Chains A and B, each alone.
Chain A
Amino acid sequence: MRYIFLFLLLIAPGSALAHASEQGFVLLLPTNAYIAAGVATVALTVLLLARVPARAALGIFRPLLLCRRHGLPLHHVSSCTAALVLGALIWIGLTGSRDPLTNPLPLFVWTVWWIGLVALQGAIGDHWRWTNPWTGPAAVLSHVTEMRPLFRYPVFLGYGPGIAIFFSFALLLLADPAPADPARLALFAGGYWYATLLGVVLFGPRWLIRAEALTILMRSYASVSMLGRKGQHLAAGLPGWKIMARPRTSLGLALFMLILLGTGSFDGLNETFWWLGKLGLNPLEFPGRSAVVTPTILGLIAANIALVVVFGTSIWLGLVVARSNMGLTLAFCLFAPSILPIALGYHVAHYLTSFMVDGQYALKAASDPMTTGADLLGLGQFYVTTGFFNTPGTVRTIWLTQAGAVVAGHVIAILLAHGLALKAFGDHRRAALSQAPLAAFMVLYTFFGLWLLASPRGL
């Protein structure tokens, strides 16, 4: 049977209806000039920084105190609410529409949460403290049962479970054939919520910050958000100000941050004509995700290893050039958080277009969650549109917004790496020298990111 099927596939007459629209206009844009401008901006930032006095370079990360915090201890209440909302979504995922663009669960998980709320966490501030679905239920459970954690979280595990779980999440996102299937997603989300709660019951809240990948991700992104706490105050500052103020990152967390960027970068590369060409696939006739599961897994692993190696080499070269006696691990951990703004910039750039479309579906689903014909939000006859992909003006605006996110991420990363180097080395010249290779890496990465945006994609 299988061979007959393969044979049929081989002799199949084709129907190639690959869509011309948005990417067609992108290919007509002067993206080479835009890329050059973007890369030049980042390179100029590097050159200017070498001339800026150390005090000024550090000063830009000084936050502005906004107001005194009047912290209402409601985060357990909001977390319990989040858990209830998640529960309801999982229920709808199991019982509601089978269509991933109608059922609210996949739209919430992949569009509202993964694209929107993660971007918000990195751009604005730490909402995860309020919106995570575990801390509240865990507190209630602990209060009701008067139970303390059964075990101490094993120190030797470090961020290992968190990295492993994030990698599994990335596999679901990138390699799984049907990550948006409502029923499957409901089982994944429900199972994961439950397993994590069990982890907290067994190992205490430490489970969340060492092993729960989504919390590690959210806390990492919160560290580059603009808003934050400083003493008793709410403060705002240039993304990265909180990293400048915090103690050294552990090796496990540093690796996690790099994997965040490596995964984000691969989730873009894997759609390009270039990658499909490497796999020997016709980009106009992509055979579907189930045909590329293994190459995707291998590619994801290779991309992450490559990034860690290149990043580590840049750090090592910096130490050599600056004649520093700082250990490589120490320096690796010192500079790793500086790539977070890049990862966030990629996140925004990569998902902007799908957010613009699927966000409309999410709105529609919120108005009619059980597909009963309800119109809770009063949307009326609401047709999802992708018209903004059809005119050169809007496509250019979208592309430049994406490119802006990538370039801004890199500029902030350069400033942050420089600030961290100044803090570590004290001496302005040594700081500049130590991060010169890293800066070169970031300039090249800007090129890579913009090239990804400009490349024709096959899926």
Chain B
Amino acid sequence: MTNATTRRGALKTLGLGAAAASLPLWARYTNAQTSEPVKIGFQVHRTGIGAAYGRWYDRTTQAAVKLINDGGGINGRMIEIMAEDDGTDPKRGAEVVEKFANQHGCDVGFGTLFSHVVIGSSPRAGELKLPYFVVSEGHHVASGMLNRYTLQPGITDVKSQVQAMAPYVADNLGKKVTMIFPDFAFGHDHRDYFSAAIEAQGGEVLEKIAIPPSETSFTKYFPKIPRDTEVLYHVMVGPAVLTFVKELGEFFGPSRPEMFGFIDSLEAVDIASPGLEYLEGTYFWEGNPRNAQPDQSEHDKFYRAAVGVDDNGASVSDPTDVSTYAHMFGCWETLHVIKAGMEAAGYQGPGDRATLIEAVEAMTDMPHSQAHPQGAKIFNGKTHQVFGHQYISRVEAGRLVKVHTTSIEDTLYPDEVDYTTQAF
């Protein structure tokens, strides 16, 4: 009998323990609505295929938030970042957006990079009426695929980047181009946008060589490159990129055509790495010049220092830790657009979300400044997409040296959507 009583007592104690363990949950939910800061839900690729980018997106975001908060925040309110990992997973992306809106009481969502996650999350943001600021460079925003609540004001899209390359390539490198690209959507975008753009410049694509994404050796594809190729346009991505460069060098030797690529292939990889010597003298698109240039602006200098990046685009704490410099400025600039938008809208809280979107839609010129260290931009309120200068760099002594800056006009294309006609 005694035994039974004590057993019951023990079980009761355990029961109380369980109730106590759930206390923090109650605390969290009751506090959720009372906080004063502007809450920005940061949808970050902490794990999964995008984690390497996520680390730098996070670092840039933290630096931008510190700068904005040190300067008085947004309308006097501090920014609070609510970072949630989406696992670089579209389904989780949608769940994260839901958490931002329903659980964390975020004012806006921000920061998504990978296209499939943006496309998976954006419809939910639209349904929940949560302004969703993506930093993805995908054409999905301007193509009209998404909704009024999704905007891309801090980074240009791949369509404008690719088409802006064509005038320089045709004028300086050659008009007969062979394209090598991975055989899936990313490569197809390059194939389609660049083919059209180079033809508009009087050039032609001699051959389009699609490489299966799982390929890790490329020698067998190189004989398909026509002999009269003047420019080889390559956008290989993934772990086999270094092998691609090595085998290309073995195939062509010193008598190669001109080569033009997108830095996406070698983002966060030291261009001076052994094995990449063959890239010497070749050209790359850069979203933002990784190496500090002789004409470096004070804004780029300031931005580098704030994020902790040295003149080679690597971490100040480790010169081998190369950043995703061509993309991550998008987080910095987007946060400044959110700030400007909220201030223009007199943003008070979630009730003003539609006003915030209208305020951002009304934006046009974004001058080169501390808020926009990558360069001046023009925002198109109808397509929710920003347009800006693109850079072409040449590899010289293991450094990326800027040789051309496109005009913003080079990057424009006719509107494919007018989101402002959609109801909130």
Chain A residues with a Cβ under 8 A of chain B: 1, 4-5, 8-9, 11-21, 23-28, 87, 90-91, 94-95, 97-102, 141, 145-148, 150, 177-178, 180-181, 190, 194, 197-198, 201, 273, 276-277, 282-291, 381-388, 390-392, 394, 456-459
CA distance A125 to B188 in the complex (A): 55
The smallest C-beta distance from B383 to any residue of chain A, in angstroms, reads 14
Q: 1/0 per residue B10-52: CB within 8 Å of A?
A: 1101100110010011011000000000000000101111111
Q: Is B264 an interface residue (CB 8 A)?
A: yes
Contact partner, A100, options B27, B47, B188, Cβ 8 Å: B47
Assembled-state Cα–Cα distance A285/B189 (Å): 14
Of A87, A95, A190, A291, which is within 8 A of B27 by CB? Answer: A95
> Looking at the complex, which one of A14, A99, A178, A456 makes contact with B240 (CB distance below 8 Å)?
A456
Query: Apart from A20-B267, A198-B14, A277-B214, what 8 extra A-B contacts exist at CB < 8 Å?
Result: A5-B120, A16-B187, A20-B237, A27-B240, A98-B85, A147-B6, A387-B321, A456-B240
CB of A147 within 8 A of CB of B266, answer no
**B46 A101 Cβ-Cβ under 8 A:** yes
- With A95-B28, A286-B48 given, is the CB distance from A15 to B243 under 8 Å? no
Contact A94 B116 (CB under 8 A): no
Closest to B275 in A: A28
Say whether B185 contacts A285, CB under 8 Å.
yes
B255 contacts the other chain (Cβ, under 8 Å)? Answer: no
B184 is an interface residue with CB less than 8 A from chain A = yes
List the A side residues contacting B187 at CB < 8 Å: 14, 16
Q: Kindly count the residue-residue contacts between A and B in the assembled complex, taking CB atoms under 8 Å apart.
A: 270
Contact B213 A27 (CB under 8 A): no
Docked complex Cα distance between A383 and B13 (Å): 44
Given A20-B242, A100-B47, does the pair A178, B92 have CB atoms closer than 8 Å? yes
Which residues of B in the span 165-198 have a Cβ within 8 Å of any Cβ on A? 182, 184-189
B346 proximity list for chain A (CB < 8 A)? none
Closest 6 CB pairs of A and B: A288-B89, A14-B185, A387-B320, A23-B239, A14-B186, A16-B186
Given contacts A100-B47, A282-B184, contact A288 B92 (CB under 8 A): yes
A385 to B317, alpha carbons, bound, how many Å?
Answer: 8
> A25 CB to closest chain B CB, in angstroms?
7
CB distance from A150 to the nearest CB of B (A): 6
**Which residue from chain A places its CB closest to the CB of B86 in the assembled complex?**
A288
Given the complex, which residues of B lie within 8 Å of A97, measured CB to CB? 83
Contact, CB under 8 Å: A177 / B238: no
B21 touches A194 (CB 8 A): yes
Contact of B239 among A11, A27, A381, A384 (CB under 8 A): A27
In contact, B317 and A383 (Cβ under 8 angstroms): yes
B374 CB within 8 Å of chain A:
no
| Nearest residue, chain B, Cβ from A177 | B92
Give the residues in chain B near A283, CB-CB below 8 Å: 213-214, 238
The reply to whether A285 and B240 contact each other, CB–CB distance below 8 Å, is no
Q: Which residues of A contact B321 (CB under 8 A)?
A: 383, 385-387, 390
22 contacts across the A-B interface (CB closer than 8 A): A13-B185, A13-B188, A14-B188, A17-B50, A17-B53, A20-B242, A20-B265, A20-B267, A25-B273, A25-B275, A99-B44, A100-B47, A197-B14, A201-B11, A285-B186, A288-B91, A288-B92, A289-B87, A290-B87, A390-B320, A391-B273, A457-B239
Question: Given A387-B319, A458-B49, A145 and B9 touching (CB < 8 A)?
Answer: yes
Instruction: Report yes or no: A17 in contact with B92, Cβ–Cβ below 8 A.
Output: no
B308 within 8 A of A: yes
Asked if B68 CB lies within 8 Å of chain A CBs, one says no
Which residues B115-166 have CB closer than 8 A to chain A?
A: 115-117, 119-120, 123, 136-140, 143, 145, 158
Give the residues in chain B near A25, CB-CB below 8 Å.
242, 273, 275
Name the residue on B nearest A390 (C-beta): B320
* B contacts, CB < 8 Å to A: 3, 6-7, 9-11, 13-14, 17-18, 21, 24-25, 27-28, 44, 46-53, 55, 58-59, 82-85, 87-92, 99, 104, 113-117, 119-120, 123, 136-140, 143, 145, 158, 182, 184-189, 213-214, 216, 237-243, 246, 264-270, 273-275, 308, 314-322, 327
Among the interface residues A15, A20, A384, which one has the most CB atoms of the partner chain B within 10 A? A15
Known: A15-B158, A16-B238, A18-B238. A286 touches B7 (CB 8 A): no
Q: How far is the CB of B89 from chain A (nearest CB, A)?
A: 3
CA distance A150 to B104 in the complex (A): 44
Contact of B189 among A14, A90, A284 (CB under 8 A): A14
When distances are taken between beta carbons in the complex, the residues of chain A under 8 Å from B145 are: 8, 11-12
What B residues does A5 contact at CB under 8 A?
120, 123
Task: Identify B269's interface contact among A21, A95, A198, CB under 8 A.
Answer: A21
Q: Contacting B104 at CB < 8 Å: which of A17, A21, A98, A288?
A: A98
CB within 8 A of A12: which of B52, B53, B116, B213? B116
Bound: A144/B53 CA distance, A: 53
B185 touching A19, Cβ below 8 Å:
no
Q: Which residues of A contact B44 (CB under 8 A)?
A: 99
Residues of chain A within 8 A of B59, CB atoms compared: 383
A27–B158 Cα distance when bound, in Å, is 29
The residue on B at minimum CB distance from A96 is: B24
Q: How far is the CA of A273 from the CA of B243 in the complex (A)?
A: 16
Shortest beta-carbon distance from A296 to chain B in Å: 13
A255 to B320, CA, bound (A): 45
Selected contact of A15 from candidates B99, B138, B275, CB within 8 Å = B138
